[in-house]
Structure 1
Amino acid sequence: MSEPHPQEPVWSRPGGAWSSGTVTGVPAPPAPAPVPPDAPRKTPAELRRRQLMIFGGVAGAILAGGLIVLLVVLFGSEGNPFGGKASSPTDLRPPLAQACPAPTGSPSAGATRAPASPPAVTGARTVDTQAGISYKRYGAPWETWNEVWRAGTLDVPYRVGQHFVTEDYSGGEYHASILSAAVPAADNDAVSLDLECVGRQVTADVRANYYPQPNTLETIRDEVTTVGGRPAYVSEFRLHFKEAGLTATAELSAVAVIDVGKPTAAVLYISIPNTHQQFDYVINDVLDSVRVL
């Protein structure tokens, strides 16, 4: 940056001539106009009132500025809090309720209208009060299921049923099973379920997460029907697969999703490995024995 040239003194003009009057004093301000003798004079009260008005205006301006700063701090990361649209609320419905809204024209649309009650059953029973169903109980080698197995992406919580270990292998224990659970399948207090949609979702979750991958599906039964006198979706299928160290290469399975008149649906899952085909009859036997509590 270049430095500015010094200003020439007034008395050192080109040519060196002195001009009187070039440097003068600052002119005096004009005298104030005389106040007319009859002009009204403000009283002390009026002066104080005017001062209060001035102070109030200043305080209001300071307060407004403070509010603006506060709004910028609170909503700065969100942009203009008054100019945008409100964001959509998070969908808190259960996964099955999101995937399968209340039915309108599906085969299971009248799910809450139960058929005639089936005849009473006798003998040993497995009772699942949370799912709202009971079903036939078997003797050895079947044992009581006493764990909570949360399976698949739908996180179905199997708490009740029977099972037995069919083989031990490098991946752990392999089981034959008869397990039941309750899954939220409707919005809030609604009790109308799209059983076909819910059933297909649960069946797909079973195939994708309960068995070795890849596997091939042989469909035996796939329908909306009645189980225990209540509307239900039943899928019966045989899966074929291979896994290192596992003797079983196929399994006969069934998934029943039963409308029990609540926002939760009862799920009954039955699986029989092909190493124990003598128990294949259990699938239809259990389904025929189901009763809603």
Structure 2
Amino acid sequence: MPNFALLQARQEDPSETSRDGIATACRAAAEANCRLLLLPELHNGPYFCQREDTAEFDRAEPVPGPTTQWLGALAAEHGLVIVGSVFERRAPGVYHNTAVVLDADGRLAGVYRKMHIPDDPGFYEKFYFTPGDLGFEPVDTAIGRLGVLVCWDQWFPEAARLMALAGAELLLYPTAIGWDPRDDAAEQARQLDAWMTVQRGHAIANGLPVLACNRVGFEQTPEATAPEDGIQFWGNSFICGPQGELLARAPADEVSLLIAEIDLSRGEQVRRIWPFLRDRRIDGYGDLLKRWRD
């Protein structure tokens, strides 16, 4: 069975610091006979969405562009499928939070533009990102059909289900999520538990393995007025199987290359005993297309 890997990492400026860590992780993953490496959301630098600042648009780049070219070279060198994350400049005034998939031969196999865009204190993504317009389409690669979603998408069962219905064999979530350090320990524990539970639920409901790759470390808000102003990214990246079983989990506070062996064929066996897709009442779900049922 193939090995799959994800890199839980700190993302820093200058971007070359992050790139060095990614290149090292690629070599290590290849040496461990991994077929795929998943990177965190917006891995080219700090999480800039903590504030609204038009100067941050200078970080954006086209797709294809410098990052896909660089990741493609790494993919070809190591025979890895690499799933990366780019602040995409599509046109003046039109920017996306875009996942990019580089196949094992280095070619750009496909992209996914983040569909669900949050707007919360410390996560002002609606200021920067236009909602995706490519739908929920898996990307075909040498390792299989990848259902790639991004961060805030991970809370929505509809996104995971649509990827599954389109033939995804694996769900992957590059993400950047953490705590407000001013939250108490009990609230932090509830948030982390909810994050892991909902994604393991997507695995169970769809009979698919899930890889969730988070950032780690504290990133202070630019021009912060207090030391605690910022986000403590909570790490805890994990890999689970099609029954939600944890195969590997990273710590909360360390850079980690997480590796697990995944049998992609087991999803079919799970779906035979838990035939959720068979028993869906598609004739009764029309109201899901409504914002609210009055």
Normalised by the length of structure 2, the TM-score is: 0.25
Bigger Rg over Cα: 1
Structure number with the higher helix fraction is 2
